[in-house]
Structure formats: C-alpha cells, structure tokens
Chains A and B, each alone.
Chain A
C-alpha cells in the first residue's frame, strides 16, 4: 500500500490569483489537492489553524456579494488572519476616491492580501501591478471568478473522481457570467468537454474563440451531460430584451423536474447562487438528490483557505529571495 505520494518537484509560486485562464493544469490540480487538507478544519471543535497568524486580509468588495465575501472572511478567520471588511457603500469611494488610492491607503495600514471584487474587468490585475500585497480576484466584470471555478471543479472531482472525459453543460446567462468563464477554463484544462447552453442573445459574441461547444437547446443536451451548471439570469447586467419573457426563458432553459427525468441518473446539478427558484431551476431540482449546490458552498470554504494559504506562501518566499 502506497501511503506516501512521492513528493513532486512542483512548486507553487504565484503571489496573486487573478484568473484561471493563465493557470496550468498542474497548478489547478495543486490548488485542489491543497484544498483537500483544509476541509478537515471546518469539521473540528476548534475550527481554526494558525498559518496566517498576524497576516491581514482585506475584503475589498465594490459589488454586492453574500456567499463569496462571507466565504473569504470565514476562510481568512479559520487560518487565523485578521480581516478588514470594505464595501463600496460605507467607504470613501462614495466621496470619489479611486480604486488605487483606496488600495494604497489600505496598504499603508499594513495589509498582506487583498480580495477584490469589481465591476470592471481587469481591476484585480491592475491592482496587482500597483501594490505589494497579494491580490485574489473574487470576481471582475464579465472576466473571471477564479475561486468559484475552482470550487466547482473541486466539487465535481470529489463526486466523479476526475473531470477527464466528462460532458458539462453551463446553462443560462453565459454572456454576463464570469463564473461561466472561470468554469470553462478550469473544466477544459482538467479534461472535460464544456457546452454553453443559452439563447443566442446570451452567448458571448466571440464564443468561437473559446474552447467550448454551443447549443441553443437545453432539450438537445440534457440527456448527454454528466454535470449541469445552471446560471442565474443577471437582470442587473442585462441590457435590451435578450428573451421575450421570463416565462418563455424558463420554459426553454429552466431545469425542471420534467427535464431531469431525461437526464443521466447520476447527473450533478450545480448552481453558483444566488438561485432564482422557479426561473432557471425548479425548487424540487435545486433541493433534489442530484443537487450539490450546498456542497459547492461548503467546498468553497476549503478552496478559498487553500488559495489564501498558497498566495501567502508564494509571497513569503518571494520576500526571502529579495
């Protein structure tokens, strides 16, 4: 029995996590393997470990969030870091302060990791070039939401052992979804086939340049896929009329009990939240046996602990080199 995996030569050296597009398969796998070691912390009586003791994490959220912000806060807490909560509403941003000034001022207080969510794509990258702290992207514009992508593949890997050869449908408002993009990068790098399923108006315009297939019919793909990830219609980002009515959208692209009858018995039903019950997914399906929606949330915590841990490690080692 091989109890010890031979230690690989692989070394994590990214001080920032800006997106999954640039990560290698090996790097993604390393994060997932690391996350496994963090799951146990949340099951003990003392739900805390000391690796980020004395470090300061800032949650710099320029957009609303429940899951991601709380998940990062709890992850930082469980690693014994101190956390500063920053939201647009209660800050000097409303007085006209720029992103960079806000970040520089926070940095002047001695912070180590910035977790940033921003409506402008590229904001995390911009920040990473201008401050010394580690930057973790918690969602930027329509670009990426890397920790969501990671927790999604983590959840799939846990249930299906591997993503190699799986068919995965990402259904709904793909055009406005950074989750869909991060999912796509992570899933395809790990060997899955990804199909974007949506009405043509909700498919990204340059989709032919992405490593995915496209279908305009959920009925066409429902029988074939091993995993289905239902996206929320992002009404706050929609311009014009991408579909005639909510009822019609729901009729053609909603994951209903009826459609589930035609799906594979062991299909995984996922959703990044927040759910619009009865719109993109029926309650019976969201709460059904195939649903891993709440497990995604639980796994998100372990994945974010791993990410905070790893960027801090890389940062500590870079400091040594200097």
Chain B
C-alpha cells in the first residue's frame, strides 16, 4: 500500500480546486456544492466552506444519494446490495452553477447517475465535476472539470480515499 496524498496534500489540493473554481466562475453567478454520498458529501462540505470563506458569501452544500439512479441495480454485474440513503439538498438548484463533488472519478458511471439524479431536481445553469482523484479507466464519455491528483492506477489496484469525518484520518492510498 502506498500513500499518494497525505493530509497536508489533500488540504492543498482542495485549496487549489477552490481557487480554480473561483477563477472560472463569473462573480454574479450563484455556486452550490453537491457531494455524492458518501465521501463526496464530506468533500463538498469542505469545498463549500472554503468557497464561502474566500468569496465572502454563503455557498450552500447538499448531499446526493445516487442509488436509485445506478445502472447496475438489475444487472447481473451488480454484486453488492446498495443501500438507499437520503438525498439532502435544502436549496433550489435551478439556475445555479452546481459543483458536483466526488472522491474518485473512475468509470464515470456514478457521475452519469448523479447527473440524471440532479436533472430530476431542477435545471441548474451548469454542472461542473470536481474530484479529489482522477483515476484512469473511463467507461463513459465523462471528464472532470476540476481534478486533484491524477492516477493511472491499473484496474487491479484499489484506490482508497480516507477522510477524517468518515475514516478518522485524511489520506489517499493505492494498493
């Protein structure tokens, strides 16, 4: 097992992502961060608090549960049983720039599910994808707008994002 990002590097990466989002987004537009359960939720919360601080205005954050939109629910390839959790988005997404946050972008399937789930909630002005780790192995035509660490891990590798809130420490490892 190798550590590819330690706690300091994760902090720094999120900082860079925040700055990039701010420089890309016209000041008159409203941003909101929405994280994909489970670890995207934590990262979205961190991003929204950094964005709020730097922009001097409240950037709302929400949580998206994509279970009902997964493409493997009825497929023989779906092995584990996904548990349905709650989507908690306490604001109107219409006309906002939605920063969709996930820990790892890999096949692109979660992102597809998340976009479909978002569209059922309203019509955002734009959806931008921000991820901590951009891992090779896309199966769908989906790319990140804001990517932290780029990894060319093999399919046999396990890339694991650990965060303080869920796992007790900030660390990204590859195995």
**Which A residues have a C-beta under 8 Å from some C-beta of B?**
1-4, 7, 11-12, 33-34, 36-41, 44-46, 48-51, 54-55, 79, 306, 309, 312-313, 316-317, 319-320
How many Å from the CB of A49 to the closest CB on chain B?
Answer: 4
Question: Which residue among B45, B68, B78 has the maximum number of chain A CB atoms within 10 Å of its CB?
Answer: B68
Say whether chain B's binding surface is mostly helix, strand, loop, or mixed: loop
Per-position 1/0 for B49-76, Cβ under 8 A of A: 0000000000000000101110001111
Decide if B38 touches A309 in the complex (CB within 8 Å). Answer: no
A3-B42, A313-B73 provided; 13 other pairs, C-beta below 8 A? A3-B45, A34-B83, A37-B85, A38-B84, A40-B86, A44-B120, A45-B122, A49-B117, A49-B120, A54-B74, A55-B74, A316-B73, A320-B76
Asked whether, in the complex, the Cβ of A3 is within 8 Å of the Cβ of B73, the reply is: no
Contacting A at CB under 8 A, from B129-143, are: none
Say whether B30 faces chain A, with CB atoms less than 8 Å apart. Answer: no
Cα distance, A50 to B83, chains bound together (Å): 15
Q: Are B83 and A3 in contact, CB atoms less than 8 angstroms apart?
A: no
Q: Which B-chain residue is minimally distant from A317 (CB atoms)?
A: B81
CB distance from B171 to the nearest CB of A (A): 16
Question: Closest approach, in angstroms, between the C-beta of A4 and any C-beta of chain B?
Answer: 4
Q: List 27 A-B contacts (CB under 8 A).
A: A3-B45, A3-B166, A4-B37, A4-B41, A37-B65, A37-B68, A37-B84, A37-B85, A37-B86, A39-B86, A40-B87, A40-B88, A44-B121, A44-B122, A45-B121, A45-B122, A46-B119, A50-B68, A51-B67, A51-B69, A51-B73, A54-B74, A55-B74, A306-B84, A313-B73, A316-B75, A316-B78
CA distance A40 to B42 in the complex (A): 21
Collect the chain A residues with CB atoms within 8 Å of residue B74's CB: 54-55, 312, 316
Query: Which residues of chain B are within 8 angstroms of A4 by Cβ–Cβ distance?
Result: 37-39, 41-42, 165-166
Chain A's closest residue to B81 (CB) is: A11
* Chain A hits for B73, CB < 8 A: 51, 313, 316
Residues of A within 8 A of B122 (CB): 44-45
Contact (Cβ within 8 A) B38 A3: yes
**Which residue of B is nearest A11, CB measured?**
B81
Ranked 3 nearest A-B pairs via Cβ: A37-B84, A4-B166, A49-B68
Interface centre among B37, B39, B85 (most CB of A within 10 A): B85
A316 vs B69: C-alpha distance when bound (angstroms): 16
Neighbouring B residues of A2 by C-beta, 8 Å: 165-166
Interface size on B, as a range, is 20 to 34
Closest to B89 in A: A40
What's the nearest-Cβ distance from chain B to residue A143, in Å? 28
Question: Is A34 touching B84 in the complex (CB atoms < 8 A)?
Answer: yes
> Contact at B68–A51, with CB atoms within 8 Å?
yes
The reply on B175 being an interface residue by CB < 8 A is no
Which residues from chain A contact B84 at a C-beta distance below 8 Å?
34, 37-38, 306, 309
Complex CA distance for A313 and B70, rounded to whole angstroms:
12
Residues of A within 8 A of B121 (CB): 44-46
Inter-chain contacts of A312 with B (CB < 8 A): 74
Interface residue B16 (Cβ < 8 Å from any Cβ of A): no
Chain B residues closer than 8 Å to A46, beta-carbon distance: 119-121
Write the chain A residue with the least CB distance to B119: A46
> A309's closest neighbor in chain B, by CB?
B84
Output the residue of B65, B67, B83, B85 with the most chain A CB within 10 A.
B83
Select from chain B the residue with minimum beta-carbon distance to A47.
B120
Q: Which of B41, B81, B119 contacts A313 (CB 8 A)?
A: B81
The proximity string for B residues 77-111 relative to A, scoring 1 for CB distances below 8 Å and 0 otherwise, is: 01001011111100000000000000000000000
Q: Which residues of B contact A316 (CB under 8 A)?
A: 73-75, 78
Contacts of A54 in B (CB 8 A): 74
In the complex, the answer to whether A50 meets B116 with C-beta atoms within 8 Å is yes
* CB-based nearest A residue for B113: A50
Q: In the complex, A38 Cα to B88 Cα: how many Å?
A: 11
Cα–Cα, bound, A319→B73 (Å): 13
Taking the closest CB of chain A, its distance from the CB of B119, in whole angstroms, is 8
